[in-house]
Structure formats: structure tokens, C-alpha cells
Amino acid sequence: MSAALEKTPLVFALPNVLNPMRDWLGHLEHGKQLSAKTVEAYERDVRQFLQFLAGHEGEPVSIAVLGALKITGLRSFLAQRRGKGTGARSLARGLAGLRSFFTYLRKQNIVDVTAANALTTPKQPKSLPRPVSASDAGDMLTEAQLPNYESEPWVGARDAAVLSLLYGCGLRISEALGLTMADLPSLREGLVRVTGKGGKERLVPVLKVVREAVDAYCSACPFVVMAHQDAAMPLFYGVRGGALSPRLIQKAVEDLRFRLGLPNSATPHALRHAFATHLLAGGGDLRTIQELLGHASLSTTQVYTQVDTTHLLDVFTRAHPRMIAAAKS
């Protein structure tokens, strides 16, 4: 159950709407096994819509009000959010949340809200992943290991190990930091089981250089040494002994960007993009890359073919003799 829904004064809707909404959120979390963050986002989007509709109607939203909802009401809500600076992706997610809620109401024979089905999803801006180059990725991993007078001696080894998992295995930062001591033996054997979005599991090969980076961190980190007897303990730690926060890795990468003169697009997630792009450029099979990344749909992975084509065209434009001659004339 969403904490926001519990804490917010529930004056924007009547119980005959709020009770099914709670049931729907529970269905998403336990039945559909969506991630907690996705459920939270869906709850927030639906709550914002109900608050908007309550203001528009001048009274708390009831099932009868939802049943009489017109497409103009939804358009007004999206226009209001767009006017507040909400982007197309967030608007599309919000509409997906509303449709999911309305579908649940229909399947439970509570009410049939047809207006959402007639509304077109906002057009999404086309953006390609921005991976770091192979040389920049190597520089980041090397630089991360260098001593930093502001932190404990083992912290550099920790950061290098995490970044190695992102670039060498294509893990999301949450997946790398979600590893526990129970995963260490299989990781050292070269094949680790990773839990990704929606609780989906996949097996990921671990390169020797990545295993060596993890071993170097484990040998240096005092908390790992103490945690060896408890398989439930995290693999990666902060300097105070708690589980390592993603924000600390993001800050470490920000520092690396400054030290190496890299663009702002060089982020932890850009290393995962680089993993996919460099595999594809080296002749990797798209289906295999999909499996390694843990993408539910092949279309999500196919975007990397566009990245590789863009890179080839960029090299062609900069290097072809006739293009260079034309630029000089």
C-alpha cells in the first residue's frame, strides 16, 4: 500500500472510489509484481487526477462521476499537467496508470470508464541512449581505483568494482547494489543471478576482469570481511557500514567526469548503455543482448542498433576524404 495514499487527506474521492483504488494498487504490487517505484508512480498519477477532477466537479469524486467522465475532462487534466512543465514521457505514464485503474474497475464490474480508451497517448520525443566510448569507460574504471584523500583507502576499489559490474555485465545500478554475500560465490565462478525490474531474474556472465575488481574490493573492505558469515548481508557498503546508496556511486561518477573532462552524459547508466552498444558493434546477437540486459521487449533493445548506426555515420562524416575536402572548401 502506498504511503502517500495513507497520509494524504482523502477528501478528493469517496470510499467507493478509494477502496477499489487500494485493491488495484495491491493487485499491481502482488498480482502483477510491479516494482514498488512503479506502483508508487501509478498511485500518484491517479491521485493527482482524482484531485483535479474533484476540483473541477466541486465535490469528492464518486463512482458515478467516473462513469460519466468525458474525454474533455481527461484532456483538461493532461493540459493542466503540461502547463506545469510535465514532459511527454511522464504524461504518457500517467495516462497508462489511469487506463490501468479504469481497466481494473471494469473487470471488477464496478464501472466502465470508456473515455480513457479514446484518448491518444502523447507523442514521445525520440531520444537515443548516450553510451560512453570504450576508452572513456576504461579511463573511468582506472581512475576510480586511484587513492582519494577524502575517503577510506578501500572506497576506490569499491567504486571500481561497482562500475565494472555496470560496464562489464550491463547491470543497472540498483541490480549491482542489490547483490548480497549470497551472490559472491557464483559471481566468483563467473555466472551471477540478477534480480531486475519487476522481480525478473536472469543469469549474467561475469568477465575475469570484473571478478578481479570485485575480489580486490572484498579483500580491502572491512565490512565485507565481517559479513562473510551472513549470506543476507549486502555486498557493497558505505563508509559507515550501511548498504551502499546509489547516490554515492552517482557522486563518484560526477567526480570522475570532472577529473577526466568527460561530458555530463557520462553517468552510471551510460556504462550499461556502453555495454550493450559495444557488444552490438562487436557482432553480438540482439536477442542475446536483450537477455543480458533483462529487457522484457526486444524493441527496447533495438534502440541500440540506432546508436551503432549513428556512430558509424558520425565516423564516416568525420573521416571520409571527400567529406573532409568538402568541409575545407
Q: Catalytic residue among 93, 211, 272, 278, which? A: 272
Instruction: Give the helix ranges, DSSP H, for the chain.
Output: 3-7, 15-26, 36-57, 63-67, 71-83, 88-107, 134-144, 155-169, 173-177, 184-189, 208-220, 222-227, 246-260, 268-281, 286-293, 298-319, 321-328
Give the phi and the psi of residue 16 in degrees, each rounded to 5.
-70, -10
Residue 200's contacts (CB-CB under 8 Å, 6 or more residues apart) are: 294, 296
Residue 93 catalytic? no
- Return the H-helix or E-strand segment holding 205: strand 201-205
Q: Catalytic residue among 47, 172, 211, 257, which? A: 172
- Return the H-helix or E-strand segment holding 204: strand 201-205
Residue 193 catalytic? no
Residue 44 catalytic? no
Residue 84 catalytic? no
Rg (the chain; Cα; Å): 24
Q: Catalytic residue among 82, 130, 269, 311, which? A: 269
Q: Is the torsion defined by CA of 52, 53, 57, 59 positive or negative? A: negative
Residue 269 catalytic? yes
Residue 149 catalytic? no
Q: Catalytic residue among 130, 197, 202, 259, which? A: 197
- Amino acid letter for position 69: L
Provide the 3-class DSSP secondary structure of residue 229.
coil
Q: Point out the residues that are catalytic.
A: 172, 197, 269, 272, 295, 304
